[in-house]
Amino acid sequence: NCIEQLSNIENKYEKIENKYEKIENKYEKIEKKYEKIEIKTMKDAGWLDFDYSVFAERFAADEETVKKIYRKYIPYLSKYSKVLDLGCGKGYFLKLLKENNIEGFGVDSDRELVKICKDNGFEVYCADLMEFLSECQDGSLEAIFMGHVIEHLPVNIKIKFLNICYKKLKKGGMLILETPNTTSVHVMHNLYYLDPTHQNPLLPEAYKHLAKIAGYSIVNSFLSDEISDIDNREYYNYSL
C-alpha cells in the first residue's frame, strides 16, 4: 500500500543520507590530511637553512625605524581584539600593538628571535608559519599581519599562504602584507638582493591579483615610505 511504499522510500532516503554523511566526514579527514602533507613548508623550500637571526642583526632596521614604518597599519587593526604577527622577529610590531592597546601574538621559526620576544613578555610560538596556520581552526583568526616575509616564499608557497590565511580568518577579518617595492630601481639594485633568502620578485599588481583570486577584497594597496636620498620619487615598500 501507499503508506508502506512511503515508509520504504523514507528508509532508503535515510540510508542514502547516512551514507552521504559518512562520505562527507571521510572527505573532511582526507582534506585535513592533505593540508598537512601537501602544504610545502617554508623549511622544505630551503630558505630556513640560513641563520637568519645573525643576518638580521647585521642588516635589519632598528626598533624605532620599524615601528615608525609599521605605525600606518594601526588604524586598520584597531577594531580587532587580537592580531597575529607572522614572522614577528624581535617583536617590534608586537610592541607597537601593545602601545596602542591591541593584543597581539606572534610566530617565528627562529628560536633566538622567539626567545627575545618571550623575554619581553610576548605570546610567541616557535614554528614554521605554514604549519602553524594549518593547525589553526578555520575562521578563528581576527587579523593577520606579515611584514617583509612573503618575499621569502616561492610563488607556489605564496599562493598557498594566501589561501590558507583566507581560510583561517573570520568573516570580516583582515590580512595586511608589507613587502619591498619591486617597482623601485633603488630597492631592486641596492636592497632586494642584499638578502640571500629573497625569492624571485613579484610586482605589486601580481600580489593584488593573487590576493583577489584567493578571495580577498582589497581594502587598500599603496607604495609607502618615500626614499629621500635619491633624485626620482620612489618608495621603499609596498603595502597590501
N- to C-terminal Cα separation, the chain = 67
pLDDT tier for residue 47 given thresholds of 50, 70 and 90: very low
pLDDT band at 233 (very low <50, low <70, confident <90, very high): confident
Q: How far is CA 89 from CA 29, 57, 86, 189, in A?
A: 34, 11, 9, 25
Residue 109 grid coordinates? 621559526
DSSP 152: G
Residue pLDDT, tens place only, 105-147: 999 988 889 999 999 999 999 999 999 999 999 999 999 999 9
pTM, full prediction? 0.79
Mind listing the pLDDT tens digit for each residue in 150-180? 999 999 999 999 999 999 999 999 999 999 9
